[in-house]
Amino acid sequence: MRVAAGAPVLASGRFKRVGLKNGYTLLVDRSAVLPEELSLNGSPLEKNGAILVDALKESDFALERDGKFFLKISQPIVVHFFEGISVKIFPELTPSVCVTGVFTGEKGILVLGKEEAICDRVIDSFENSVRNSYDIPKFLRDVRENSGILGIVAIAGKVVGTWAKGKLDVL
């Protein structure tokens, strides 16, 4: 099953889709038992994701809002996000927020981080500082200094640069 949400697409048959209030969609293990009351508000993804980590205990899930995800997984998951580029995210990089950006000029980025706001700032920095493929190494060096970032896949033209604090495969 391919689950579309905004720009990125999660490719997984192990999840069921549950519509929630306030624009959220929950993709959760088919065997998971959902609490009767799930109260998610407009808080950042990481706050609502933490509520679900407590509520769903051992279950894998992806909480989606506006094409952004909070991921908590025990098995790798594949995200398709940019013109034939897919990324396999491994459990050691979760729980985390996953945000993508695709820009004109054949540029795209996937960011895994601890907070939605940090991921958004990294995407803004990428859009403003990476003009061509030669800018990717410096961008990745600078981003590594941010303790709130867990992984990056940056694309400019035909060049793909990655960095992560765990395993992240570009497919």
Q: Would you place residue 5 in the very low, low, confident or very high pLDDT band (cuts 50, 70, 90)?
A: very low
Position of tokens 């069921």?
16
Tell me the per-residue pLDDT of 107-149, one tens digit each, with 9 for 90 and over: 999 999 999 999 999 999 999 999 999 999 999 999 999 999 9
Say if residue 53 is in the same domain as residue 112. Answer: no
Q: Which residue type does 83 have?
A: E
Co-location of 9 and 60 in the same domain: yes
Looking at the domain assignment, is residue 111 inside a domain?
Answer: yes
Domain boundary pick from 72, 104, 119: 72
Domain span at residue 11 reads 2-72
* Residue 73 burial (CB count, 10 A): 21
What is the radius of gyration, based on Cα positions, of the chain?
16
**Rounded to a whole number, what is the largest CA-CA distance in the chain?**
51
Instruction: For residue 2, name the pLDDT band (cuts at 50, 70, 90).
Output: very low
- At 10, the pLDDT band (50, 70, 90 cuts) reads low
Domain count of the chain?
2
Lookup: tokens for 142: 């600078």
pLDDT band at 12 (very low <50, low <70, confident <90, very high): low
